Structure 1
Amino acid sequence: MGIRGLGYVVIETERPDEWDAYLTGIVGAMRGEGAPADARFYRIDDRCFRFWVQAGTSDRLVGAAYEVSDATELADLRAGIAAAGRPVRDGTAEEANARGVSGFFQTSDPAGNGLEFFHGNRAGDAPFVSPAGVTGFVTGDMGMGHAVFAAPNFDETHAFYERIGFRDTDVARYRFSDDPGDPGMGFTFMHADNGRHHSVALGDVPRPPSGCVHLMLEVKDQVDVGKCHDRMRQAKILQSASLGRHVNDQTFGFYMQTPSGFDLEIGCDPLVIDPATWVPTAHPRPSEWGHLWSWQLDPADQP
């Protein structure tokens, strides 16, 4: 039993028009067809959608949906999650059809972060074309990207993800000050059964109301990263972290705030691992260079 990768995300928002402008104009996603009446679909590749954005009374990530190979693996995973004491709700045939999947169920991790697991994928009706001119997003066998969640009950939540098939890629403790007494923040980066360095990561931090720390999308090259950074600045979107390169996954990119308060990382040129042979690493700092966070930036560095 293994997790193939991050398939799509479900977002609830009081700001659907802001999300529309953000995803199409800044990120470069394409509007999709066939969404339910209270939702909108957005594509970054040939899948019918990667972002499900539904109107609601809060702004949060409702769930990150991970793919498995087939119905048997989905049933085995469901049984294991239920045996671990987590609540499970099976999706109806109508809900599965709306998601473009053959079957799915909803659950949450021990920290309360929303999850879906599914099998089967439906392609969109038309080729993907970015309205912002992005040359392409890296998905396919690597999945949509990654999600980072807060897990104040860190050990319990980490054990849950290990139980369901994720494996450690990098186990880190980051310190953001020069104080020798700074305990730092624990993070675990975990891979699925593909070459992406991590498809989920956990931080030993309080869980935010937005239900997510950040999502990550990979574009094809540094030009796409740079042009997205320009669009962010021109639209006066809050920059959460400046351009930089990570130590552990080698991704070059930046972070910006979404209309729902969590961050979106746009990056390229990451390390690609062999999930079958990878030996977990432990890095003491997040970035080789750059990635000054919003509290470290001079106000003049913001749009």
Structure 2
Amino acid sequence: MNDYDASSVFGAVHLGHIVIETNRFADWRRFGEDAIGMHCDRLDIGLMRFRLDERECRFLLRRGPAEDVVATGWHVDDHATFERIEARVRAHGVPVVAGTAEEARQRGVERLLRFQGPKGIVQEICTTPVTSAEPLRMLSSGWVTGDSGMGHVAITSARPALMRGYFDTVFDARLTDYIDETISGVKLKIRFLRVNERHHSVAIASVRGLPIDPIRTRVQHLNIQAAGLDDVAQSYERVHRLGFDMALSVGQHTNDKELSYYARTPSGFEWEVGWNPIVVDETTWEPSTHQGISIWGHKPVGQTIIDKLDQFRLGARSLARPERTVPALSGAGIPDD
């Protein structure tokens, strides 16, 4: 791996919270609390939070029409690293806005800054998370967070080199590996980036040879890691029983070996519940390419030819609307190794 670099923030950054904008609060509460099994707190008529652990907030849902992820929050270990990232972003000429005291309170953090991110997803950095004395009320036995952060975000992109360049510039993200996959005749390349010991905190999927994005939402899926295999199985059963759509059945991934399933959220993007992914050993890890996303399973559930045609239509429409990038933080992009 890379020689030690005192200026690097790698290892001190962790996916800390996600902000979702939706008008489907009742459906989201049933999905998050009753199906997935997270702790839910309703703050007021326009705000709701899900907890996974002792922290006050891991998912903040606010009322609005996007039906999408609108911000990803990165917990930074200490104030010095926080200020290093802030200075880095400002040095590239990108505006940085301080969150208000109320915005920080909603996210359960002490310090909050936000700046532009790829695909219009605001990137937030924060320090000193607030913990709750209220015991967790949730159907799951627990979720894996800690040094690895709380899971990952998967994004589709027509400009994957620029997106990879962005996360390298801002967070010193490292390439973990690639997956080549063909779905319905469309060839995809997926890049997996890590910012700490978790195999990946960001996955970037692109259509090979075509500058299209076949996904309506800014994110393709979010992932959280269950503490036990029983938690995966029981939440899978609850998703079915409560009538939520399943996107992919239970399976195991080729690269991080995580066993998981994918449900479809009330806002349309997917939600992966996984268990037991490998942890990267920085002293020995070398990037490689895997063929196919799964060793077994992860079969589409309920997908029809109409669904496939809709995806092709969305991809065609994306040609007419350039993907939002942040050139100042993306350099010239990072080509594939």
User: 242-251 or 217-226, which moves further after superposition?
Assistant: 217-226
1:169-248 mapped onto 2 (5 Å cutoff): 169-177=176-184, 184-193=187-196, 195-204=197-206, 206=213, 208-248=215-255
Shift in Å, 1:232? 0.9
The answer to whether structure 1 residue 26 and structure 2 residue 32 are counterparts is no
- Identity across aligned pairs (percent)? 30
Query: Aligned partners of 1:258, 1:227: CA distance in 2, in Å?
Result: 17
Aligned length: 291
- The 3 A distance-change label for structure 1 pair 57 and 166 is same
Shift in Å, 1:208? 3.6
User: 277-286 or 12-21, which moves further after superposition?
Assistant: 277-286
Letter in 1 for 2:204: L
Shift in Å, 1:203? 1.4
Q: SS in structure 1 opposite 2:243?
A: coil
Residues 7-46 of structure 1: per-residue CA shift (max 9 Å, x gap):
011111010111111111001111237x466211111111
Asked whether the equivalents of residues 256 and 277 of structure 2 are also in contact (C-alpha less than 8 Å), the reply is yes
**Structure 2, gaps ≥5 residues long:** 1-8, 208-212, 306-337
- The 3 A distance-change label for structure 1 pair 86 and 170 is farther
The answer to whether structure 1 residue 69 and structure 2 residue 77 are counterparts is yes
Asked whether the equivalents of residues 240 and 263 of structure 1 are also in contact (C-alpha less than 8 Å), the reply is yes
- The 3 A distance-change label for structure 1 pair 24 and 72 is same
- The 3 A distance-change label for structure 1 pair 297 and 227 is farther
The answer to whether structure 1 residue 253 and structure 2 residue 260 are counterparts is yes
Query: Aligned partners of 2:90, 2:214: CA distance in 1, in Å?
Result: 23
Residues 90-122 of structure 1: per-residue CA shift (max 9 Å, x gap):
212332233221212122334333321111111
The answer to whether structure 1 residue 145 and structure 2 residue 151 are counterparts is yes
State the partner residue of 2:119: 111
Compute the TM-score of the two structures, normalised by the length of structure 1: 0.89
Letter in 2 for 1:73: T
Query: Aligned partners of 1:240, 1:211: CA distance in 2, in Å?
Result: 17
Query: Aligned partners of 1:65, 1:170: CA distance in 2, in Å?
Result: 23
Asked whether the equivalents of residues 119 and 218 of structure 2 are also in contact (C-alpha less than 8 Å), the reply is no
Letter in 2 for 1:199: S
State the partner residue of 1:301: none
The answer to whether structure 1 residue 41 and structure 2 residue 44 are counterparts is no
Shift in Å, 1:127? 2.3
Letter in 2 for 1:150: T
Letter in 1 for 2:218: G
Query: Aligned partners of 1:220, 1:185: CA distance in 2, in Å?
Result: 30
Asked whether the equivalents of residues 112 and 124 of structure 2 are also in contact (C-alpha less than 8 Å), the reply is yes
Q: SS in structure 1 opposite 2:263?
A: strand
User: 75-84 or 157-166, which moves further after superposition?
Assistant: 75-84
Letter in 2 for 1:286: I
Q: SS in structure 2 opposite 1:5?
A: strand
User: 268-277 or 279-288, which moves further after superposition?
Assistant: 268-277
Which of 25, 31, 42 is the aligned partner of 1:16? Answer: 25
Compute the TM-score of the two structures, normalised by the length of structure 2: 0.80
Asked whether the equivalents of residues 107 and 115 of structure 1 are also in contact (C-alpha less than 8 Å), the reply is yes
User: 53-62 or 89-98, which moves further after superposition?
Assistant: 89-98
Asked whether the equivalents of residues 247 and 288 of structure 1 are also in contact (C-alpha less than 8 Å), the reply is yes
- The 3 A distance-change label for structure 1 pair 36 and 100 is farther
